[in-house]
Amino acid sequence: INELIGLEALKDADLLVIYMRFRTFNEDQCALIQKYLDSGRPVAGFRTSTHSFNYAKDDPLAHWNAFGAEVLGAPWETHYGHESSTDVYTPAEAANDPILNGVAREFHVRSWLYKTRPKYPPADSKPLLMGKSVNPNKEAIESPVAWTRQHKGGGRVFTTTLGHPEDFSQEPVKKLVVNGLKWAVG
């Protein structure tokens, strides 16, 4: 399905929560998203949203393929295998961030780690949580699994590459999501 019914709700929305993968919305729907972004309102992106769009290179909407990098702060590059999982920890520089209030400093999730380092998230981002791949299928580097930033339209962005269905049964992930969404809307 490459059409999202009800996207007109963005006209009055307080927060765009995005959790999708490889979509090709039509020009009108992309215009609604762009208008939302241009308004300076916040965005929260989860897991596969780093690769939300997948237009052909010659498509006039192909620039939307960069949504993960430009808005959320990281594109999808690779992961370390569907059989792997991730150990998550709080880096010292994020220890006092209010988004992490009530979030365990170390925990394990089913999500396989997405590679974001060394290029992403960009320097204007604040990494909140780091991940180490457990049983990777290739050499893995630690990468951020949650961060904040501001998108070009001026709105706050909360992004996490966590989001395997099993992750949401864990208290640290639930608390991270609630805190991140509250932070995004101020």
Predicted TM-score (pTM) above 0.85: yes
Q: Decide which of 5 and 179 is more confident.
A: 179
d(CA 168, CA 17): 16
| Model confidence band, residue 158 (pLDDT cutoffs 50, 70, 90) | very high
Average pLDDT over residues 146-163: 97
**Sign of the torsion angle spanned by Cα atoms 142, 146, 151, 154:** negative
Q: What is the pLDDT of residues 46-75, one digit of tens each?
A: 999 999 999 999 999 999 999 999 999 999
| Dihedral-angle region of residue 154 (phi above 0 means left; psi in -120 to 50 means alpha; beta otherwise) | left
Q: What is the pLDDT of residues 21-37, one digit of tens each?
A: 999 999 999 999 999 99
pLDDT of residue 51: 96
| Cα–Cα nearest to 121, from 75, 156, 88, 152 | 75
